Chains A and B, each alone.
Chain A
Amino acid sequence: MKRKILTCMLTAALAASALLAGCGGQDGGDASDPEQGGNVSDGGEEEEITLKLFHNWTMDTDVAYFEEAAKAFHDTHPNVTIEIANIGDPDYSSKLKVMLGSDEAPDMFFTLSGEYLYKFQRAGSVLDLTKYYENDSEWNDSFIASAKVPFETGGGIYGVPFRIITKQMVYNKDLFEQQNVEVPTTWEEFMEVCETFKNAGILPQAFGDLEAWAACHFMTTFNALCVPDEVRKADCDYTTCEFTDPGYVQALYMLKDMQDKGYFTPNTNAIDFDVAREEFLIGNAAMAYLENIEYIDVENAGINAGIFSIPAPEGAAGNDKLVTGSPDGFAISSSCKHPELAVEFLKLLTSKEWQEKALNMSCTSSIKGTHNSENSNELMLKDVEICENATGFANWMDADIHSDIADVYLPGMQEIIAGTVTPEELMEKVQAAAAEVRASAAEQ
Chain B
Amino acid sequence: MNKPIIQLVDICKEYYGNQVLKKVNVSVRPGEVHALVGENGAGKSTLMNILFGMAVIHNTGGFSGQVFFDGEKVDITSPKEAMDKGIGMVHQEFMLLPGFTITENIKLNREITKHNVISKILGEKMKSLDMESMRKDARKALDTLGLDIYEMLSVEGLPVGHKQFIEIAREIDKTNVRLLVFDEPTAVLTEIEAELFLKAVKKLASTGIAILFITHRLNEVMRVADNITILRDGEVVGKLAREEASVEKMARLMVGRKIDRIQKTEKKSNGSIDENILEIKNLKVNMPGERVKDVSLEVKKGEILGIGGLAGHGKIGIANGVMGLYPSSGEVVFNGDKIKLNNPKDALSKGMAFVSEDRRGVGLLLEESIEKNIALTAMQVQGKFLKRIAGINFALTWKIRAHARKIIKELDIRCTGPEQITRRLSGGNQQKICIARAISLEPELLFVSEPTRGIDVGAKKIVIDLLLKLNQEMGMTIIITSSELAELRSICDRIAIIYDGKLEGVLPPDADDTDFGLMMAGGHGKAKEVS
Is A bound to B?
Answer: no
Which A residues have a C-beta under 8 Å from some C-beta of B? none
Which B residues have a C-beta under 8 Å from some C-beta of A? none
